[in-house]
Structure 1
Amino acid sequence: MESPEWWLDRLYGELTKRIEYVTRMRTYCSGDHPLPMLPDKARDAFRKLLRHARSNYVGLVADATSERLQVDGFRLGDGEVGDTEVWRIWQANSMDADSDLLISESVRVGRSFALVAPNPDDPSTPLITGEDATQAIVAYRPGSRRERVAGLKCWLDDWGGRLMATLFLPGAVYKYEAPVPRTGSVGTPKWAPRAVRGEPWPAPNPLESVSLIELPNRPDLLGGAHSEVEDVLDIQDRINKTLIDRLMAQEFSAFRQRWATGYELPEDESGQPVEPFRSAVDRLWVAEDTNVKFGEFSATDLTPYLRAIDADVQHMAARTRTPAQYLLGQLSNVNGETLKATESGLVSKVRQRQRPLGEGMEEIARLALRAAGDTRDLSRIETVWHNPEFRTEGELVDALLKMSTLGVPHEALWERWGASQTEIAQWSQLRDRAATRVMAGDLSAMYGPKSGDADADAE
């Protein structure tokens, strides 16, 4: 059996290697792209232009995907639209908001993590926290992409200036600390057990499983996960290179240069030529010699640069299945059906991303319910996702009315509408109360108060 120290060194090494990839994807998505290439001699002179020659299209690609991935609740497969208990725990940990952060992180850098732990202050409400991809890693049993055998969370304690690590194994939780490695140092840190007041070392693991859960984006069969923008970074670099070329043309070649022939330049007292004319809106160039001729060179045409950028953006849109109007901002006189067709690729991609991310979300909810002492069958838990397809309110209402004629329950229709689990529970209670009043003979619950009754109430 592998020792805790073996797992600590192994996972720390893998996490260190992964940080480079995560950092690169994150900087691209935030718009901090590498500066376009220029000759070394020209780089300092054009550094200001270089900083302006970055347009963050990959960030738009990531946002277009993550903004349509929203968790609306969980169902346990027992006929309920949404489970109220797991949603209570979810909201108590602010996961209705933090789940968006986890999803955005997964889309941008390939993966994110969540940690589930018992709550000593309230055992019925376990703790759920989101973890950064540069601070957490999970190991799976060889040959399996599901069974977690170890997890590591590693972070820098800013207060104490120490490197902290927590190793999660099914049987126990081990906590370590080490001096911060020097920049450029090779090898693993010198770990030592970290004592926590009132807690044994190692600490018991009441969940009896690795409570660090991975949320992968675009996973493969070998256990890898990929950023949504990983394979379009070269296109982004091409766009930035075209931008710097355009800015240089604007700076030095986009204005008309004038010339004159047959004109004798005046000289100053030292024999140096003097500029004969001053250009201005209210000034006129005059030469008495009839042999003098004036002309101008044409300005550099910027259209090829703009077309090259548009072509690269179209390539990025096609590769990522992002509607071109999202990236180019060109949309006019388009009907609803055409707009829906242009977004069909993005909607299909988002539905595909929901499945692996949903497995991770379900495992978080499953562990949280288990930590709270829930004895139900949790194997059929399912993530309820918000509909990624944008519809007008009229289209949605019409579709829901047609579904209601087929006997679809109100709760399911409200879920399709996009109501949260809290709203659905509240509406169900209001409907049940109204039905109870009708059964008691109070028809105003169904039809509303009569005008005479309203006047009497007013008096």
Structure 2
Amino acid sequence: MPQPAAVQSPEWWRDRLYEALTKRSADTKVYDDYYECEHPLPHLHEKARAPFRRLLKMSRANYMELVVDALVGRLEVAGFQSDTEGDADEAAWRLWQDNNLDGGSSLAFLEAAIRGNAYMLVSPDPKIGFRITPEHPTQVITEEVPGQPGELAAALKLWIDDWTAKLCCTVYLPGNVYKFEAPEPKLGQSHLKPQWVRRAVRGEDWGGKNVLGEVPFGELANRPRMLKPGASELRSVIGIQDRINKTIADRMMTQEAAAFPQKWATGLEIPLDDNNQPVEPFNIAVNKILIAEDGAAKFGQFAAADLTGYLKAKEADVHDIAAITSTPPHYLLGSMVNLSAEALKAAEAGLIHKIYQRRRFLEEGLERTMRLAGFASSQARIVWKSPEWRTEGELVDALVKMAGLGVPREVLWERWGATPQEIERWRGLNEDALDRAMSGDLAAEYGPKPPASEQPLDAIPAE
């Protein structure tokens, strides 16, 4: 029987973090399913599920995707701002661009909003200095030093190598990095503990030195709490999504069975077939009329089912989602009727506040990532694009008033929404224009004068 690994050995960290990662991935899979519109079918009696299965599959209206996208769509890094002299902010932005993190960061923000956490891995790269990659929360997990929040003790990265059909993992400690592999779990055996062995890559030893000297991950946590990790944006509303799906399913079944007026007739003699079975006397269609020779015959129809109640119930549930998630109602309902600019701003105020709150915690992970890549916190302060949408006229009017109060032009450019790189370029353009203007003024004042015949009359001194 194998002996348990020594506490804080590479094998101990591997087993401990693998178990935690597996549990967290299973717990958060439900949020990923709801974002991808893989909702469970609404409940029906077992005898009714087969006939109405087609309608059940059509009843899923995915509001969860809208809730997440409304937040993530306004999380965009614009650049970096440094408090030190030099080009540290430009170097940080250049590294960001070299690693394609305009899109990569958006992917990480999306996964963090869905599952509660995402990660950035920093590793040395001979070409660009450091390679920064977004990591999925089902493949990476970290653990902090007990009693020292923010200081990482270890991390695990897990993935399946499609080329070798192996389950691979890497354990990151502050001093060293260790690699393991195991046969890929077969279908239905994912609950079994992998049979790990040490893994050598391209002839290298299974363990190596961690040149960064720290666990090389920045964690992007969504809505964390004290003593609790990040949480999904969908945690509180998947039950409401189920209610909406149930309401839609009931409405569609009502439409199928009772939304069309049912006809009735009295005073008719029903014909029988050769087997003495009643035969339907009429072939009803929209382009046909009913005629009976018997004068006592009467025709009529029942009232169609009223669907108003279903529609109002669904709308009420959508309003609940909007209130709980601070998502503007018109995003979810898809309708705007006579809304003023002030009303739209008021509707989006909750979303804007939520974005500012979420950014505080995302910044911590991004700043740690840039620090691991060699930039101090004073050299790589995150600059975000404004999440507020204002008309150009409103913005210009506010900036003109601020300029009248003596606010520096660089600050006005920043409020306009310019990135640090654009501000630097504009500053250079202004300085060039000023230099040209000054040189032209000096030449006019002290340069050679044109002949008297070419000077205007008022410029020639009187004798």
TM-score (norm 1): 0.90
Give the deviation of 1:198 after TM superposition. Answer: 5.8
Q: Which residue of 1 aligns with 2:457?
A: none
Which of these residues, 154, 163, 174, is aligned with residue 159 of structure 1? Answer: 163
- Partners of 1:413 and 1:96 in 2: how far apart? 24
- Partners of 1:69 and 1:236 in 2: how far apart? 25
Which of these residues, 182, 201, 204, is aligned with residue 178 of structure 1? Answer: 182
Q: Which residue of 2 aligns with 1:416?
A: 415
Q: Which residue of 1 aligns with 2:398?
A: 399
Q: How do 1:67-106 and structure 2 match up within 5 A?
A: 67-78=73-84, 83-106=89-112
What letter matches 1:84 in structure 2?
A: E
Q: Secondary structure at the match of 2:226?
A: coil
Q: Secondary structure at the match of 2:237?
A: helix
Q: Which residue of 2 aligns with 1:457?
A: none
Would you say the 8 A contact 2:80–2:92 is kept in 1? yes
Q: How do 1:253-402 and structure 2 match up within 5 A?
A: 253-370=258-375, 377-378=376-377, 381-402=380-401
Deviations 1:217-264 (A, max 9, x none): 010111311011111000000000001001101111110001111211
- Partners of 2:353 and 2:415 in 1: how far apart? 17
Give the deviation of 1:161 after TM superposition. Answer: 0.1
Q: Secondary structure at the match of 1:72?
A: strand
Q: In 2 relative to 1, CA 431–198 (structure 1 residues): closer, same or farther, beyond 3 Å?
A: farther
Q: In 2 relative to 1, CA 336–160 (structure 1 residues): closer, same or farther, beyond 3 Å?
A: same
- Partners of 1:172 and 1:406 in 2: how far apart? 56
Q: Which residue of 1 aligns with 2:251?
A: 246
Q: Which residue of 1 aligns with 2:54?
A: 48
What letter matches 1:405 in structure 2?
A: G
Would you say the 8 A contact 2:159–2:168 is kept in 1? yes
- Do structure 1's residue 168 and structure 2's residue 172 form an aligned pair? yes
What letter matches 2:69 in structure 1?
A: D
Give the deviation of 1:205 after TM superposition. Answer: 1.0
Give the deviation of 1:114 after TM superposition. Answer: 0.7
Deviations 1:242-288 (A, max 9, x none): 01001101111110001111211112233222221122333221222
Name the % identity: 50
| Mean Cα deviation higher: 423-432 or 355-364 | 423-432
Give the deviation of 1:62 after TM superposition. Answer: 0.7
Deviations 1:334-365 (A, max 9, x none): 11111111111111111111100111111111
Q: Which residue of 2 aligns with 1:227?
A: 232
Would you say the 8 A contact 2:92–2:380 is kept in 1? no
- Partners of 2:329 and 2:401 in 1: how far apart? 33
Would you say the 8 A contact 1:414–1:424 is kept in 2? yes
Q: Which residue of 1 aligns with 2:69?
A: 63
What letter matches 1:287 in structure 2?
A: A
Which of these residues, 213, 222, 228, is aligned with residue 217 of structure 1? Answer: 222
Q: Which residue of 2 aligns with 1:128?
A: 132
Which of these residues, 18, 21, 33, is aligned with residue 27 of structure 1? Answer: 33
- Partners of 2:126 and 2:86 in 1: how far apart? 30
- Partners of 1:130 and 1:55 in 2: how far apart? 30
- Partners of 1:167 and 1:425 in 2: how far apart? 42
Would you say the 8 A contact 1:313–1:328 is kept in 2? yes
Q: In 2 relative to 1, CA 187–285 (structure 1 residues): closer, same or farther, beyond 3 Å?
A: closer
Structure 1 stretches (4+) deviating beyond 6 angstroms? Answer: 79-82
Give the deviation of 1:165 after TM superposition. Answer: 0.5
Structure 2 residues without counterparts, runs of 5 or longer: 1-6, 443-463
- Partners of 2:397 and 2:109 in 1: how far apart? 31
Cα RMSD over matched residues? 2.0
Q: Secondary structure at the match of 1:130?
A: strand
- Partners of 1:298 and 1:82 in 2: how far apart? 74
What letter matches 1:347 in structure 2?
A: I
Structure 1 residues without counterparts, runs of 5 or longer: 371-376, 444-459
- Partners of 2:18 and 2:396 in 1: how far apart? 52
Give the deviation of 1:321 after TM superposition. Answer: 1.0
- Partners of 1:272 and 1:156 in 2: how far apart? 65
- Partners of 1:130 and 1:19 in 2: how far apart? 17
- Partners of 1:88 and 1:118 in 2: how far apart? 16
Number of equivalent positions: 435
Q: Secondary structure at the match of 1:308?
A: helix
Would you say the 8 A contact 1:82–1:421 is kept in 2? no
What letter matches 2:82 in structure 1?
A: L
- Do structure 1's residue 150 and structure 2's residue 154 form an aligned pair? yes
Would you say the 8 A contact 1:15–1:134 is kept in 2? yes
Give the deviation of 1:177 after TM superposition. Answer: 1.0
What letter matches 2:386 in structure 1?
A: N
Would you say the 8 A contact 2:263–2:299 is kept in 1? yes
Would you say the 8 A contact 1:86–1:369 is kept in 2? no
Q: Which residue of 2 aligns with 1:208?
A: 213
Q: In 2 relative to 1, CA 345–394 (structure 1 residues): closer, same or farther, beyond 3 Å?
A: same
Give the deviation of 1:79 after TM superposition. Answer: 8.3
Give the deviation of 1:380 after TM superposition. Answer: 7.0
Give the deviation of 1:418 after TM superposition. Answer: 2.1
TM-score (norm 2): 0.89
Q: Which residue of 2 aligns with 1:117?
A: 123
Q: Which residue of 1 aligns with 2:456?
A: none
Would you say the 8 A contact 1:81–1:411 is kept in 2? no
Would you say the 8 A contact 1:145–1:223 is kept in 2? no
Give the deviation of 1:186 after TM superposition. Answer: 4.2
Give the deviation of 1:314 after TM superposition. Answer: 0.6
- Partners of 1:383 and 1:128 in 2: how far apart? 16
